Amino acid sequence: MKRTVTHLADGRELLYFDESDASTRDVPDRRRLPTPPDASELRYDPLLDEWVAIATHRQSRIFLPPADECPLCPSTADRLSEIPASSYDVVVFENRFPSFSHRVSPGVENPGVGRCEVVCFTDEHGTAFAQLTPQRVRTVMEAWADRTSELSALPGVEQVFCFENRGEQIGVTLHHPHGQIYAYPFVTPRTKTMLAAAKRNPRVFEEEIANAGDRIVGENEDWIAFVPFASRWPYEVRLFPRRRVPDLPALSDAERDSFGPLYLDVLRRLDGLFDQPMPYISAWHQAPVRQDRELAYLHLQLFSIQRAPGKLKYLAGSESAMGAFINDVRPEEAARLLRGVSL
């Protein structure tokens, strides 16, 4: 794999991850762009012990453009996009409308220092992650690991989060196959909760895996995919490496190779469940940068709000106001249905 670092017209960083060492990436960004926005403002909620980012500049971000105006497609002679090259394998670049940034305004008391990046999985607009090849998934994993290492080294960053949102039902505003990476200036609430559980019981992750039983959806030598015993979402799968590691950079070459085939299998089962593209969130849970790393266990959480054909799981009063989830689908039944999908 070849890694090339360049910059966009407004100074934002862009990286090409090419599967061929022969690729050349010397095409400049010919657009005229405004200066990137300053970092958001962080505000602390003492009632919940949580931080909230106030990022008003994100109100003007691009929203559901037509395919011929997609900013994530390669540039052409007639239309310039966020990627200057005419084709690419995997691209990562700084988000034009970031929630967190190193560009700090002197007037902000608690700036949201950090970084937000976009990861384009392919230059083909009308496809999806589930349609990638295992080789391309391997390239994406290299990009995730690379960015986790680089962003973890930035001043003020406490946690790196790689994720993908798919489907307008989830809130996607760009249809091109892509994900995002957030480098937070704090440890997120969900991670703090899991680390607290691991502090109470250092074997909690291993026990979750060992008890998967009839909720296993798929597995191979290095990974296991299963529906959680207390799944919050109608269809939720967790993918764990069999070896306990804190983050993506810690995965071996063999583990990186074997992730793609199993993950693609699970994604295709989700799409086949109701014979339609399944809206989902795919979220990597990694160790914080500086604290409690020995308690963490890298894993991927994949879940959908689709509970039946034409029916969504809305987060209403109990879930949104109280954080108390009520699931409509029994986890064992969800696993059975996913295993039964014909691929």
Alpha-carbon distance of 197 to 170, in angstroms, equals: 28
pLDDT tier for residue 24 given thresholds of 50, 70 and 90: confident
Residues 271 and 172 sit within 8 Å (Cβ to Cβ)? no
Tell whether 73 is in a known binding site: yes
pLDDT at 132 over 90: yes
Alpha-carbon distance of 171 to 182, in angstroms, equals: 17
Which pLDDT score, from 0 to 100, does residue 74 have? 97
pLDDT at 107 over 90: no
| Residue 48 in tokens | 């919940």
Strand partners, 159: 184
> Edge-to-edge strands of the sheet including 13-18?
2-7, 13-18, 90-94, 115-120, 178-184, 159-166, 280-285, 299-304, 235-241, 223-226, 216-219
Tell whether 7 is in a known binding site: no
Which pLDDT score, from 0 to 100, does residue 26 have? 87
pTM higher than 0.75 = yes
pLDDT tier for residue 35 given thresholds of 50, 70 and 90: very high
Average pLDDT on 178-200 reads 98
Number of Cβ within a 10 Å radius of residue 320:
10
pLDDT tier for residue 268 given thresholds of 50, 70 and 90: very high
Q: Please give the backbone phi and psi of residue 19, each rounded to the nearest 5 degrees, phi first.
A: -80, -10
Tell whether 125 is in a known binding site: yes
pLDDT at 33 over 90: yes
> Any residues with CB less than 8 A from the CB of 260 and at least 6 apart, and which?
132, 134, 135, 136, 137, 138, 141
Which pLDDT score, from 0 to 100, does residue 62 have? 79
pLDDT at 19 over 90: yes
Active site residues: 178
Domains, the chain, in order of start with CATH, read: 2-35+62-95+114-339 (3.30.428.10)
pLDDT tier for residue 86 given thresholds of 50, 70 and 90: very high
Tell whether 175 is in a known binding site: no
pLDDT tier for residue 238 given thresholds of 50, 70 and 90: very high
Average pLDDT on 46-61 reads 92
Number of Cβ within a 10 Å radius of residue 103:
16
Better pLDDT: 105 or 76: 76
Question: How does the average pLDDT of the chain come out, rounded?
Answer: 96
Print the SS3 string covering the chain: CEEEEEECCCCCEEEEEECCCCCCCCCCCCCCCCCCCCCCEEEEECCCCEEEEECHHHHHCCCCCCHHHCCCCECCCCCCCCECCCCCCEEEEECCCCCCCCCCCCCCCCECCCEEEEEECCCCCCCCHHHCCHHHHHHHHHHHHHHHHHHHCCCCCCEEEEEEEECCCCCCCCCCCEEEEEEECCCCHHHHHHHHHHHHCCCHHHHHHHCCHHHEEEECCCEEEECCCCCCCCEEEEEEECCCCCCHHHCCHHHHHHHHHHHHHHHHHHHHHCCCCCCEEEEEECCCCCCCHHHCCCEEEEEECEEECCEECCCCHHHHHHCCCCCCCCHHHHHHHHHCCCC
